[in-house]
Structure 1
Amino acid sequence: MLWTGVFAAFVLGTYLLMWRAWKKRGRRQAGLPAPADAPADLGTPLLPTLTGRYFGSTSAGNWLDRIVAHGLGTRSAVEATLTEKGLRVDRPAAAGFFIPAADLAGARFEKAAAGKVLPEGGLLVVTWTLGDTRIDTGLRSDHVADHDAWVDAVTRLAAGDAPALTGTKTGTNSITSTNQEGTQQ
Structure 2
Amino acid sequence: MPYVLPVLLLAAATALILSAMYRSWRRRARGVVVTDLPALPAGSPAAPADPPVEGVYVSTTIAGRPWERVLAQGLGARSAVDIQVLPARAGLPGGVLLTRRGARDVFIPAGTIHDVHRASGMIGKVVDTDGLVVITWQVGETLLDTGLRTRYGADRARLHDRIHSLLVATGENANPEG
For normalisation by structure 1, the TM-score amounts to 0.76
> In the alignment, residue 85 of structure 2 is paired with which amino acid?
L
State how far apart, in whole Å, the 2-side matches of 1:154 and 1:127 are.
Answer: 11
Q: Closer, same or farther in 2 for the Cα pair 1:141/1:6, shift >3 Å?
A: farther
Corresponding residue for residue 141 of structure 2: 132
Counterpart secondary structure, 2:40:
coil
State the Cα RMSD in Å: 2.3
Structure 1 unaligned blocks of 5 or more? 163-185
State how far apart, in whole Å, the 2-side matches of 1:127 and 1:45 are.
Answer: 22
CA contact (8 A) 2:113 2:138 kept: yes
Counterpart secondary structure, 2:169:
coil
* Partner residue of 2:44 out of 16, 41, 48: 41
Higher relative contact order (CA 8 A, sep 6+): 2
Q: Does 1:150 align with 2:138?
A: no
| 1:1-185 superposed matches below 5 A | 11-29=14-32, 31-39=33-41, 40-84=43-87, 85-160=94-169
Counterpart secondary structure, 2:46:
coil
Structure 2 unaligned blocks of 5 or more? 88-93, 172-178
For normalisation by structure 2, the TM-score amounts to 0.79
Corresponding residue for residue 168 of structure 1: none
CA contact (8 A) 2:110 2:170 kept: no
Q: Closer, same or farther in 2 for the Cα pair 1:11/1:38, shift >3 Å?
A: same
CA contact (8 A) 1:114 1:138 kept: no
CA contact (8 A) 1:105 1:155 kept: no
The Cα shift of 1:115 comes to 3.8
State how far apart, in whole Å, the 2-side matches of 1:5 and 1:51 are.
Answer: 48
Percent of matched pairs sharing the same residue: 31
Kindly indicate which of the two structures has a greater share of residues assigned to strand: 1
